[in-house]
């Protein structure tokens, strides 16, 4: 990459995008075509540009329910249909059946205004029948790279995510300042990239957040630049693993401690008698203990077939190519150039130590800081993985959070439970993986292999939808 292009790209990455869009229903009706049923497509949430509210995802379900009903009334059409959702749209379609069913059985519900203020509303018999009719029309639910059980990046709350990014920003910020502390006489050796945009910690943090593609990390911007309370960004709050919304409409995920035998070993004992100690040995089983995630209290109605399509391209930076096929190349070239700069600066500080004057001007510390910043740039993929929270993901959503478990097998006892077994798809594990797709490119119309899996899932739902 030419140095001038790198400088321009560095400035772009340090900029802050505005949050301008309003939360609206993001649904679209797709005719059946060659599929067994037409379907409503629930789009993912636009993390990179939206106006957060305190109302949360349940208010979006209300909007989408109204949009679906309005179209049915306009077209005098109440045919059966499926729901297919991507990203946060996956979480919404997964929650939608439980949302409708609960309302069809309730005389009172709680709704929230845009400020998150709750209000109790009574439901008439006709209201309940309307919700039930809508529920009965749903034939199947399919999630595609869905945030079905939340974003692991938000696991532990805002504090953990802020801490990770703040620590990363400090690492790079100290490296930048280490470069600037090199003796002017030696600085001419470096082909220095202008680092002015990174001389302030806030700008360094903006630069690091800018390295994350908007399709993956757009949700991070409002958390740093505008909001400090998770309830002020209720849509994100509801995407926290085990959030109240997920537990209410999808499932609860618990940590299950399991005990697994690893083999027998000798255990020596001593029995004391009047003749002295008598040693003896027994063979006993040794165990190892570890924690597994188990989905319990599944709220998805058991009569509703669900299919899970899981993206498995964990390269977060590849998601940048959705907007421009060269974006990943630009990001990697930027990181590579900075890596070389920090590494060279670290060696120059060691040279200053060797020449003597570095012992009194802080070069020992500065060299360590430059090398730490160089390591961060060299391991950019590992840094993205730390933010995502999993080594197995679609670049944004951890693999295990893209589906609700069809079954859970305790490896210690061999006991198998079925928390959610009305699952459709070509893979008996209960989800269908596509290793070639990331979160941003899995939900496009040209993916024939994904579209073929839709057909399989919808065909199976014909028999598995219970009434």
Categorize the per-residue pLDDT at 114 as very low, low, confident or very high, splitting at 50, 70 and 90: low
Q: DSSP class of residue 193?
A: P
The whole-angstrom separation of Cα 178 and Cα 330 is 24
pLDDT above 70 covers a percentage of the chain that reads: 85
More confident residue, 3 or 199: 199
| Per-residue pLDDT band at 65 (split at 50, 70, 90) | confident
Predicted local confidence at residue 78, as pLDDT: 66
Contact between residue 224 and residue 165 where contact means Cβ atoms under 8 Å apart: yes
CA quadruple 42, 43, 45, 46: dihedral, nearest 10: -160
CB 426 within 8 A of CB 432: yes
CA distance 153 to 146: 14
Cβ distance 156 to 163 under 8 Å? no
- Whole-number Å distance between alpha carbons of 378 and 335: 7
Tell me the HSE value of 118 on the side-chain side, using a 13 A CA sphere.
5
pLDDT of residue 45: 75
Asked if 45 contacts 235 with a C-beta cutoff of 8 angstroms, the reply is yes
316 in Cβ contact with 384 (< 8 Å): yes
Give pLDDT, residue 10.
46
Neighbouring C-beta atoms of residue 72, cutoff 10 Å: 17
Give me the percent of the chain exceeding a pLDDT of 90. 38
Contacts of 156 (CB under 8 A, 6+ apart): none
CB–CB of 333/364 below 8 Å? Answer: no
SS3 343: helix
The dihedral built from the CA positions of residue 28, 32, 38 and 41, taken in this order, carries a sign that is negative
Residue 8, pLDDT > 70, answer no
Separation CA 229–CA 251 (nearest Å): 25
What are the C-alpha distances in Å from 248 to residues 94, 102, 193, 297, 385? 11, 10, 51, 9, 29
Q: For residue range 224-250, what is the model confidence (pLDDT) as tens digits?
A: 666 667 777 888 889 999 999 999 999
57-75 vs 125-137: helix axis angle to the nearest 10? Answer: 80
Position with higher pLDDT, 325 vs 137: 137
Task: Give φ, ψ of 63 to 5 degrees.
Answer: -60, -40
**Total Cβ atoms within 10 A of residue 30:** 15
Task: Compute CA 231 distance to the chain's CA centroid, rounded to the nearest angstrom.
Answer: 19
What is residue 308's predicted lDDT score, i.e. its pLDDT?
97
CB atoms within 10 A of CB 307: 27
Q: State in Å, rounded, how far the first CA of the chain is from the last one.
A: 60
Q: Given CA atoms 445, 446, 452, 453 in this order, what sign does their dihedral have?
A: negative
pLDDT of residue 84: 95
Q: How many CB atoms lie within 10 A of CB 61?
A: 22
Question: From CA 81, how far away is CA 68, in angstroms rounded?
Answer: 11
pLDDT score, position 222: 65
Q: Are 251 and 297 in contact (CB under 8 A)?
A: yes
Query: Which among 36-40, 56-60, 336-340 has the top mean pLDDT?
Result: 336-340
Confidence of residue 1 (pLDDT cuts 50, 70, 90): very low
Q: How far apart are CA 155 and CA 400, in angstroms?
A: 13
Which two tokens mark 126?
């006709």
Structure-block tokens of residue 439? 């979160």
Q: Is 449's pLDDT higher than 80?
A: yes
Could you tell me if 111 and 56 are in contact, meaning their C-beta atoms sit under 8 angstroms apart? no
* Beta pairing class for 416-417 and 408-409: antiparallel
Is residue 12 over pLDDT 70?
A: no
CA distance 66 to 384: 38
Q: Which pLDDT score is estimated for 175?
A: 93
pLDDT in tens, 27-48: 777 877 778 888 889 988 776 5
Measured CA angle at 182 (ends 181, 186), to 5 deg: 160
CB 307 within 8 A of CB 457: yes
For position 118, what pLDDT does the model report?
76
């Amino acid at each position: 990459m030419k140095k001038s292009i790198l400088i321009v790209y560095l400035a772009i990455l340090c900029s802050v995008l505005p949050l301008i869009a309003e939360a609206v229903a993001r649904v679209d009706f797709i005719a059946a075509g060659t599929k067994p049923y037409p379907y409503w497509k629930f789009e993912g949430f636009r993390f990179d540009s939206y106006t957060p509210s305190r109302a949360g995802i349940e208010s979006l379900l209300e909007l989408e329910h109204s949009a679906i009903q309005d179209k049915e009334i306009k077209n005098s059409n109440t045919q059966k249909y499926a729901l297919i959702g991507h990203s946060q749209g996956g979480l919404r379609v997964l929650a939608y059946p439980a949302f409708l069913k609960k309302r069809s059985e309730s005389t009172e519900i709680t709704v929230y205004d845009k400020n998150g203020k709750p209000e109790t509303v009574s439901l008439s018999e006709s209201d309940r029948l309307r919700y039930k009719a809508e529920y009965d029309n749903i034939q199947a639910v399919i999630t595609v790279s869905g945030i079905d059980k939340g974003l692991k990046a938000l696991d532990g709350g805002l504090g953990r995510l802020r801490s990770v990014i703040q620590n990363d920003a400090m690492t790079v910020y100290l490296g930048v300042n280490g470069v600037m502390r090199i003796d002017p006489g030696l600085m001419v050796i470096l082909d220095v990239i202008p680092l002015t945009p990174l001389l302030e910690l806030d700008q360094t943090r903006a630069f690091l957040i800018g390295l994350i593609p908007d399709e993956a990390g757009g949700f991070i911007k409002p958390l740093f630049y505008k909001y400090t309370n998770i309830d002020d960004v209720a849509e994100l709050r509801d995407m926290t693993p085990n959030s109240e919304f997920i537990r209410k409409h999808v499932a609860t995920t618990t940590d299950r401690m399991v005990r697994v035998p690893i083999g027998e070993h000798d255990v020596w004992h001593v029995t004391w008698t009047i003749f002295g100690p008598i040693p003896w040995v027994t063979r006993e089983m040794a165990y190892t203990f570890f924690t597994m995630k188990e989905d319990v209290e599944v709220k998805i109605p058991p009569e509703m077939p669900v299919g899970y399509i899981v993206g498995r391209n964990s390269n977060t930076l590849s998601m940048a190519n959705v907007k421009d096929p060269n974006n990943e190349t630009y990001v990697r070239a930027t990181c590579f150039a900075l890596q070389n700069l920090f590494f060279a600066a670290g060696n120059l500080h060691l040279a200053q130590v060797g020449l003597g004057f570095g012992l009194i001007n802080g070069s020992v510390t500065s060299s360590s800081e430059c090398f730490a910043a160089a390591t961060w740039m060299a391991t950019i993929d590992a840094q993205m993985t730390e933010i995502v929270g999993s080594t197995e993901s679609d670049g944004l959503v951890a693999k295990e959070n893209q589906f609700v478990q069809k079954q859970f097998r305790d490896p210690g006892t061999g006991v198998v439970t079925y928390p959610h077994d009305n699952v459709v798809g070509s893979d008996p594990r209960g989800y269908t993986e596509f290793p070639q797709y990331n979160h941003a490119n899995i939900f496009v119309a040209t993916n024939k292999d994904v579209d073929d899996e839709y057909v399989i899932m919808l065909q199976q739902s014909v028999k598995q939808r219970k009434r």
